[in-house]
């Protein structure tokens, strides 16, 4: 048993300060024990969230010596005897009081995430899945929603303005979990992650993975596969080859081609002359514009390294002659 130095942030939305405390610490204790001792002795109204005290509920998230941690999982023995332990609230979310922050951002993002779509035609009890197929999603379902990943992600940590369009790592793993769910009936999870969740903001610094108390490989197992597979669909070599050798109307439309409007299959009248401007053709998908109707210049928003094409992403240069209002004379 010894007295240890603590600095704890006290205050509310209007401001606050770090206050110094000398607290008794016993062998085998964690930071949350110390906070509880402070509450029971000198600071009964010190606000702090906690529930299970076993690293399972994800309530007691805070920043300890600047690191986002669960306070119930931060053993006092990891600090030097003489070290001052500084405890502050999560920085990314607005402070309510002391160590408690308003994490409603996360619940709002959760609500925007399309739910599991049950497979049509399977009744309860008829679901069959192999263990190895459910394991990938199960990794993400380990998430205890401590929101440390959301807190540490630099896209929103000091950028309030990004919060509107960015769902954050917690919801990327949710998207990946559903994408990899063997029976989820929704097939465009990756595209939604790209288009609606702001997956493109992530530039893979892996901070989220580093702070995850459940050791979920957020970046490697969820974000990167989601990014890759979005790109895959666009640049899959088979699809590319298909685009080269097939007519446009023979290529299955990409799920990601929204907001393109497809006019339906082209009726090719082979009896017509080489050039027929009246022939109905599939219009190009149009440029990938943002809400303001502009092409995004910021590559962070894009799923490729170069800027988006102003002619639409499905137009390849040189233009495939079979997709023009022109037939080669040989064809006549």
Partner 1 sequence: MDKFVYDVVVIGAGGAGLRAAIEARLAGKRVAIISKSLFGKAHTVMAEGGAAAAMGNVNSNDNWMVHFRDTMRGGKFLNNFRMAELHAKESPDRIWELETYGALFDRTKDGRISQRNFGGHEYPRLAHVGDRTGLELIRTLQQKIVSLQQEDKAEYGDYEARIRVFAECTITELFVTEGRISGAFGYFRESGDFVLFETPAVVLATGGVGKSYKVTSNSWEYTGDGHALALRAGAKLINMEFLQFHPTGMVWPPSVKGILVTESVRGDGGVLKNTEGKRFMFNYVPDVFRKQYAETEAEADRWYTDPDNNRRPPELLPRDEVARAINSEVKAGRGTKAGGVYLDIASRLPAEQIRKRLPSMYHQFKELADVDITSAPMEVGPTCHYVMGGIEVDPDSAAAAVEGLFAAGECSGGMHGSNRLGGNSLSDLLVFGKRAGEHAASYVDALPARPKVAASDVDSATQAALAPLERKDGDNPYALQHELQEIMGDLVGIIRREGELAAAIKKLGELRARVAAVSATGGRRYNPGWHLALDLRNMLIVSECTAIAALEREESRGGHTREDFPKMEPKWRKVNLVCGMGPNGEVTLEHQPVPTMRDDLLNLFDKSELAKYLTDEELPA
- Burial status of residue 112 (CB atoms within 10 A of its CB: 0-12, 13-18, 19 or more): exposed
For every residue of 54-71, DSSP letters joined together read SSSS---EEEETTEEEEG
Can residue 2 be called a binding residue for partner 1 (CB under 8 A)? Answer: no
- The two tokens of residue 263 are 């006019």
C-beta of 128 vs 331, nearer to partner 1:
128
Stretch that binds partner 1, among 33-41, 250-258, 261-269, 294-302 (CB under 8 A): 33-41
Expressed in angstroms, the distance from the first to the final Cα of the chain is: 95
Stretch that binds partner 1, among 139-147, 155-163, 238-246, 256-264 (CB under 8 A): 139-147
Can residue 17 be called a binding residue for partner 1 (CB under 8 A)? Answer: no
C-beta of residue 76 within 8 angstroms of C-beta of residue 31: yes
Contacts 24+ apart (CB under 8 A), 247-252: 247/320, 247/322, 247/323, 248/281, 248/282, 248/314, 248/320, 248/322, 248/323, 249/282
Can residue 113 be called a binding residue for partner 1 (CB under 8 A)? Answer: yes
C-beta of 13 vs 332, nearer to partner 1:
13
Residue 168 Ramachandran class (φ > 0 left, ψ -120 to 50 alpha, else beta): left
Can residue 115 be called a binding residue for partner 1 (CB under 8 A)? Answer: yes
C-beta of 200 vs 213, nearer to partner 1:
213
Report the site for partner 1 in 150-209 (rule: CB under 8 A).
178, 181, 184
Can residue 9 be called a binding residue for partner 1 (CB under 8 A)? Answer: no
Can residue 58 be called a binding residue for partner 1 (CB under 8 A)? Answer: yes
C-beta of residue 266 within 8 angstroms of C-beta of residue 282: yes
C-beta of residue 243 within 8 angstroms of C-beta of residue 316: yes
C-beta of residue 113 within 8 angstroms of C-beta of residue 192: no
Can residue 111 be called a binding residue for partner 1 (CB under 8 A)? Answer: yes
- Distance (Å, whole) CA 202 – CA 81: 38
- The two tokens of residue 221 are 């197992």
Can residue 100 be called a binding residue for partner 1 (CB under 8 A)? Answer: yes
Stretch that binds partner 1, among 129-137, 159-167, 275-283, 310-318 (CB under 8 A): 129-137
Report the site for partner 1 in 273-312 (rule: CB under 8 A).
none
Member of 49, 91, 233, 279 binding partner 1 (CB under 8 A): 49
| Binding region for partner 1 (CB under 8 A) | 12, 26-30, 33, 39-41, 44-59, 72-73, 75, 77, 96-98, 100, 102-103, 107, 110-111, 113-116, 118, 124-125, 127-131, 134, 137-138, 141-145, 178, 181, 184, 213-215
């Amino acid at each position: 048993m010894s007295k240890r130095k603590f600095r704890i942030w006290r205050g509310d939305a209007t401001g606050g300060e770090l206050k110094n405390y000398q607290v008794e610490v016993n062998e085998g204790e964690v930071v949350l024990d110390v906070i509880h001792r402070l509450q029971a002795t000198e600071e009964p109204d010190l606000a702090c969230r906690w529930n299970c005290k076993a690293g399972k509920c994800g309530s007691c998230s805070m920043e300890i010596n600047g690191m986002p941690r669960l306070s119930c999982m931060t053993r006092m023995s990891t600090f030097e005897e003489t070290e001052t332990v500084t405890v502050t609230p999560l920085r990314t979310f607005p402070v309510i009081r002391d160590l408690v922050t308003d994490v409603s951002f996360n619940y709002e993002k959760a609500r925007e995430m399309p739910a599991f779509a049950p497979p049509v035609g399977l009744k309860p009890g008829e679901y069959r899945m192999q263990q190895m197929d459910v394991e990938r999603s199960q990794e993400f379902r380990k998430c205890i929603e401590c929101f440390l990943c959301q807190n540490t992600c630099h896209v929103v940590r000091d950028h309030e303005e990004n919060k509107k369009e960015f769902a954050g790592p917690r919801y990327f793993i949710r998207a990946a979990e559903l994408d990899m769910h063997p029976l989820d009936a929704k097939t465009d999870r990756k595209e939604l992650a790209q288009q609606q969740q702001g997956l493109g903001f992530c530039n893979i610094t892996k901070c989220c993975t580093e702070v995850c108390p459940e050791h979920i490989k957020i970046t490697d197992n969820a974000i990167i596969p989601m990014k890759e597979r979005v790109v895959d669909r666009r640049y899959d070599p088979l699809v590319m080859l298909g685009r080269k050798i097939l007519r446009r109307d023979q290529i299955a439309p990409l799920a990601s081609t929204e907001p393109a409007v497809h006019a339906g299959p082209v009726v090719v009248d082979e009896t017509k002359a080489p050039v027929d401007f009246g022939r109905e053709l599939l219009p190009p998908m149009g440029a990938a514009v943002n809400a303001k109707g502009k092409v995004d210049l910021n590559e962070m928003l894009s799923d490729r390294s170069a800027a988006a094409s102003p002619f639409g992403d499905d137009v390849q240069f040189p233009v495939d002659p079979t997709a023009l209002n022109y037939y080669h004379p040989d064809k006549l």
